[in-house]
């Protein structure tokens, strides 16, 4: 156990009683605590394999989770989708948009909520993680991060995706709507998309660190002091729609 009754990732799953550890406070390290183990050397520890790992995990998420789940999600959306929104996005016809939302949801559930949370429970895995020795959070903080993340993905993401979807359908996006599928073209679009996401996220993130925007919007995200996958979309809805979703829906 850490200071002030905080639970380490090893045992935070083992209890359903959250301890009094304010999320805004950063844990202090005492002399009686063992120093973090030296980080191992190699491609994995250096982050050189991150793109390959990300691509592999993304493929399996889409192939074995998103595609099988897309039909069920489409039928659920058809039953509850407001009639006033159907001219802008119809789940029965706009299956590509539903698949994109399904992919985002499955990636968060499988990677952040599932895989990375399990890794956070194993101290040995912290040697491969940036600031892994600071990964201290409680069950209450974990459930709060999941609740905010799912709320952003399921509820607030539509404020960014529907306008972008309409812009693309009306010819305002990059490329024609009915462009035939071509592997070289798709690979080129994928490469441009990666750069677009990185540049957009960098610019919006820098802007959110301006004093006024940080105080009213971005400070909420920094409640988690160390990098944690579970908190990747733990953000104010405005920040989530503009910074996280904005770069993705810009295309191509």
**What CA–CA distance (Å, rounded) separates 109 from 116?**
10
Q: To 5 degrees, how large is the angle CA 172–CA 153–CA 163?
A: 20
Instruction: Report CA torsion sign: 99, 100, 106, 107.
Output: positive
Task: Write out pLDDT tens, residues 116-151.
Answer: 888 888 877 777 777 766 666 778 889 999 999 999
Could you give the 3-state DSSP secondary structure of residue 8? coil
Q: Which two tokens stand for residue 195?
A: 């750069």
Task: Give percent of the chain with pLDDT exceeding 70.
Answer: 73
- How distant is the alpha carbon of residue 129 from its chain centre? 17
Q: Which has more pLDDT, 135 or 199?
A: 199
Which residue reads 């990375």 in tokens? 116
- Predicted local distance difference test score (pLDDT) of residue 50: 67
Task: Please answer whether residues 141 and 92 qualify as being in contact, where contact means their C-beta atoms are separated by less than 8 angstroms.
Answer: no
- Predicted local distance difference test score (pLDDT) of residue 161: 87
- Predicted local distance difference test score (pLDDT) of residue 117: 86
- Predicted local distance difference test score (pLDDT) of residue 5: 46
Task: Please answer whether residues 53 and 45 qualify as being in contact, where contact means their C-beta atoms are separated by less than 8 angstroms.
Answer: no
Q: How confident is the model at residue 1 (pLDDT cuts 50, 70, 90)?
A: very low
- Predicted local distance difference test score (pLDDT) of residue 204: 95
Q: Which has more pLDDT, 27 or 44?
A: 44
Report the half-sphere exposure of 120 (CA within 13 A, side-chain side): 28
For the ranges 4-8, 20-24, 62-66, the one whose mean pLDDT is highest? 62-66
- Average pLDDT of the segment spanning 43-66: 72
Q: What is the CA radius of gyration of the chain?
A: 20
Q: What is the dihedral of CA 233, 198, 69, 144, to 10 degrees?
A: -10
Report the half-sphere exposure of 30 (CA within 13 A, side-chain side): 6
- Predicted local distance difference test score (pLDDT) of residue 29: 34
Could you give the 3-state DSSP secondary structure of residue 233? coil
Residue 157 burial (C-beta neighbours within 10 Å; 0-12, 13-18, 19+): buried
């Amino acid at each position: 156990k850490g200071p002030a009754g905080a639970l380490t990732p090893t045992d935070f799953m083992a209890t359903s009683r959250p301890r009094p550890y304010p999320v805004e406070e950063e844990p202090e390290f005492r002399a009686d605590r063992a120093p973090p183990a030296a980080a191992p050397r190699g491609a994995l520890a250096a982050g050189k394999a991150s793109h390959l790992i990300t691509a592999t995990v993304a493929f399996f998420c889409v192939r074995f989770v998103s595609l099988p789940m897309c039909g069920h999600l489409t039928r659920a959306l058809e039953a509850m989708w407001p009639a006033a929104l159907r001219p802008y996005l119809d789940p029965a016809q706009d299956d590509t948009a539903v698949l994109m939302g399904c992919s985002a949801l499955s990636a968060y559930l499988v990677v952040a909520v599932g895989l990375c949370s399990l890794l956070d429970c194993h101290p040995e895995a912290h040697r491969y993680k940036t600031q892994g020795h600071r990964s201290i959070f409680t069950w209450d903080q974990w459930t709060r991060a999941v609740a905010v993340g799912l709320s952003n993905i399921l509820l607030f993401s539509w404020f960014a995706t529907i306008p972008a979807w309409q812009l693309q359908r009306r010819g305002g996006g990059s490329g024609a709507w009915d462009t035939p599928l071509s592997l070289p073209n798709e690979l080129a679009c994928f490469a441009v998309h990666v750069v677009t996401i990185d540049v957009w996220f960098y610019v919006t993130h820098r802007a959110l660190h301006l004093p006024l925007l940080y105080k009213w919007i971005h400070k909420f995200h920094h409640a988690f002091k160390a990098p944690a996958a579970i908190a990747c979309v733990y953000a104010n809805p405005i920040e989530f729609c503009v910074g996280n979703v904005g770069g993705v829906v810009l295309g191509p």
